[in-house]
Amino acid sequence: MASLFLGARLWDAVNDPIIGSFPDRWSLGKSGDKFKPYIKVAMFPLALSVMLAFYDVSLWSETSKHIWIVAVYVFYGMCYTGTSMPYGSLVAVITDDPVERTKLSRARSFGGLIVGAGFLSAVPQFIFNKEGQVVSENFFYIGILFGVLSLLSYILTLKLTTERVRQKKVETEKFNYSKVLKSVLKNRPLIGVMVATVGSLLYITGNSQLGAYIYKEYYHAPQLLTLVSLSSIPIMFVAFPVIPKLSAKYGKRNLILLSTAVNFVFSLFLLIVPIKDVYLFLLLYTISNVGQTVFIMLIWALVTDTLDYHEYITGERSDGSLFSIYTFSRKIGSTLASTLASMMLGIVGFVSGAAAQTPEVAENIRTLTTAVPVLTTLLQLIGIGLIFNLSKERMDEIQLELKNKRLSTAN
Question: What is the full per-residue pLDDT of the chain (411 aa) written as tens digits?
Answer: 667 767 777 787 777 778 878 888 888 888 888 899 999 999 999 999 999 999 999 889 989 988 898 899 889 988 988 998 888 888 888 888 877 888 887 788 778 777 876 677 677 778 777 776 778 888 899 999 999 999 999 999 999 999 988 766 555 456 566 777 777 888 999 999 999 999 998 888 888 778 878 888 888 887 777 777 777 778 877 887 888 888 888 888 999 999 999 999 999 999 999 999 999 999 999 899 889 989 988 888 888 889 889 888 888 877 777 877 888 788 778 777 777 877 888 888 888 777 778 889 999 999 999 999 999 999 999 999 999 998 888 888 888 888 888 777 665
Residue among 135, 145, 95, 94 nearest 115 (CA): 145
Could you tell me how far CA 343 lies from the centroid of its own chain?
23
Using a cut of 0.75, tell me whether the model's pTM lies above it.
no
**What CA dihedral angle connects 302, 304, 306 and 310, to 10 degrees?**
-170
The whole-number pLDDT of residue 188 equals: 93
Neighbouring C-beta atoms of residue 87, cutoff 10 Å = 20
- Residues 6 or more apart whose CB falls under 8 angstroms from that of 17 comprise 321, 324, 325, 328
How many angstroms separate the CA atoms of 336 and 9, rounded?
Answer: 10
The whole-number pLDDT of residue 101 equals: 81
Contact in structure between 400 and 96 (CB atoms under 8 Å)? no
Burial 304-316 (b: 16+ CB within 10 A, else e): bbbbbbbbbeeeb
